[in-house]
A and B are shown apart, each in its own frame.
Chain A
C-alpha cells in the first residue's frame, strides 16, 4: 500500500514537472515569436519609410520636387536627416553630372549641416565619425566648417584624426587642404595607405590649383615638423599623381640631401617618385648613391625607378648592382627586375654565380617567375 502511494506521488510530481516545463516552453516560444514579430515590424516600417523617402529624393533629382519641399520635410522631422544622408551617399557613388550637383546642393542645406555640426560636438566617438562621414561626402567643404573640424586633429582616436583630414580634403583652397596634410603628417599612427588616399583626394582638377598643390607638397618635403616616413610617401605620391613640373625641384633636393640613415626614407621616396615621373636625370643620381648606401629601402627604390624609366642605362646599372652588391637579397631582386625588363638577360645572369649564402626561397622565387633553373642553367 505504502509503495503504491509513493508511486502515485512520484507520478503526480512527474506530471506537474512536465506541465511546468511545457508552460515554460510555450512561454519561451511565444516570447521568441513576439520579439521576432516586433523586430520584423520595425524593419518593415523602416524599409517602408526608407522607400518613401527614396521616392521623394528621386522626385527631387528628376525635377518633380523642389529643394524647398525636401527642406520643409526635414524641418518638420529632423530625424529624417540620417535617412536622406544615407540616400544621398548611396546615389552619389553611382551618378555624376547634374544629378551629383543636385545631391551636393541638398547636402549643403542648413538643416543637414546643423544636425551634423551638433554631432561633431558629441562625446561619443561613433557620433563624431558619423558626422565626419557627412563632411567627407561634401565635394566643397565650406570655410565655416573648417573651424569645427580642426580641433579633431587632436582627438585620441586615430580614425577620427584621419577622417577629419579626409573631410578637409574637400576644402576649396589649396592652403587649407595643405594645412590639414601638414597636421596629419605629424601623426605617428597614420598609415602609409591612409596617407596615399589623402594625397589622392588632395589633388583637384583645376589647373591653377594643380600648380599650387605641387609647390605645397614640395614645401612639406622640406618641412621639419613632417615625419620622415610620411615624407617618403609624399615624394612617391608626387610621382604617382604626376606633378611633372616639380621633377627638377625634387631632383635638386635629392642632390642636396646628405646620405645618412636619417635621410634614407626621404631619399628612397624621392628616387621612386622621380622614377614614376620618368625623369632620366635620376639615373645619374642613382649611380652616385648606390655605392654609398647599404640601405635596402633605397636600393629597392633605385630598382623600382630604373624599372619605370626602362632605359638601356637602367638595365646596365642594374647589372652593376647585381655584380657589386654584397647582399644576396639585392642580387636576387635585381635579377628579377632585369628579367622583367629584358628576358635575353637570362644568360648573363646565369653566368654570374648565385652566392652560396643566397636565400633559397628567393632563388626559387626567381625560378618560379622566370621558369629558369639557375643551378642547371636551363629554362
Chain B
C-alpha cells in the first residue's frame, strides 16, 4: 500500500473520529488519568514501560509500527506519545511530520526516543515538532521524570 493510500485512509478515519466526538451519539468515557501511547517495536521496552506505568497514575497503550501508531493517535487521542524513530512501517520522522501537519486534531506532546544521537539528528527532531528527546541508551528514571514533566 502506498504512502498516499495510507494517508487517505488515515484522513477518512480522522473525519469519522471527529463526527463521532461531535454529538453523534457515541459516548466516550472521561477518565482523568493521562493516556500515554508508546510507538516502539522492541517488545522488551514495551513490556518494561507497561510494567512501570502499572503503578503510576497513567493509562498506557502501545503500538509496534508506524502506521498503527498514527492510527492509534487519531483514535485514542493520547496526551503523550513516546515515539521511537526506527520503527517498521511508517518511519518515526514521517509520523511526527504527518502528525504535526494535521491541524484538525488536538496535538499530543511527543517525546522522541532514538539511538541517533548526533547534534544534527537531535536538531532535526526538534525542528519536526518534538517536545522532548531522549537518546538511547537511556536512564529509565530520567525518562520517567521527563514524561512526568511533559504531562504536568
Contacts and interface: CB of A to CB of B under 8 A. Distances in A.
B139 A94 contact: no
B140 A54 contact: no
A54 B49 CA distance: 12
A125 interface: no
Contact of B42 (A50, A94, A99): A94
Contacts of A375: none
Interface in B37-90: 42-45, 47-48, 51-52
A93 interface: yes
B47 to A, nearest CB: 5
Interface stretch (A55-63, A199-207, A295-303, A339-347): A55-63
B9 to A, nearest CB: 27
Contact of A61 (B42, B48, B115): B48
B138 interface: yes
Contacts of B136: 93-94
- The residue in A59, A95, A97, A100 that gathers the most chain B C-beta atoms within 10 A of its C-beta is A95
A94 B47 contact: no
B118 to A, nearest CB: 16
Interface in A61-102: 61-62, 87, 90-97, 99-100
B43 A50 contact: yes
B23 interface: no
B139 A91 contact: no
A22 B137 CA distance: 58
A87 B45 CA distance: 10
B44 A87 contact: yes
A51 B51 CA distance: 13
Contacts of A55: 47, 51
Contact of A100 (B43, B47, B48, B137): B137
Contacts of A57: 44
Interface string B127-138: 000000000111
Interface residues of B, number: 15
B42 to A, nearest CB: 6
Contacts of A62: 48, 51-52
Contacts of A95: 137-140
Interface string A268-305: 00000000000000000000000000000000000000
Nearest to A55: B47
B73 to A, nearest CB: 22
B47 A54 contact: yes
B43 A54 contact: yes
Given A58-B51, A62-B51, A62-B52, A96 B137 contact: yes
B44 A99 contact: no
A219 to B, nearest CB: 33
A87 B136 CA distance: 16
A interface, over-half SS: helix
B44 A97 contact: no
B51 A99 contact: no
Contacts of B52: 62
Given A58-B51, A61-B48, A91-B48, A97 B139 contact: yes
Contacts of A51: 43, 47
- The residue in B44, B45, B137 that gathers the most chain A C-beta atoms within 10 A of its C-beta is B44
Given A59-B51, A62-B52, A90 B138 contact: no
B51 A91 contact: no
Contacts of B138: 94-96
Nearest to B142: A97
Contacts of A58: 44, 47-48, 51
B85 to A, nearest CB: 13
B137 A90 contact: no
Nearest to B54: A62
Contacts of A94: 42, 44-45, 136-138
Contact of A97 (B48, B51, B140): B140
Question: Ordered nearest first, which 3 A-B pairs have the shortest CB separation?
Answer: A96-B137, A97-B139, A91-B44
10 contacts: A55-B47, A55-B51, A58-B51, A59-B51, A62-B52, A91-B45, A94-B44, A94-B137, A96-B137, A97-B139
Given A92-B137, A96-B138, 15 more contacts: A54-B43, A54-B44, A57-B44, A58-B44, A58-B48, A58-B51, A90-B42, A91-B45, A94-B42, A94-B45, A94-B137, A96-B137, A97-B140, A97-B141, A99-B140
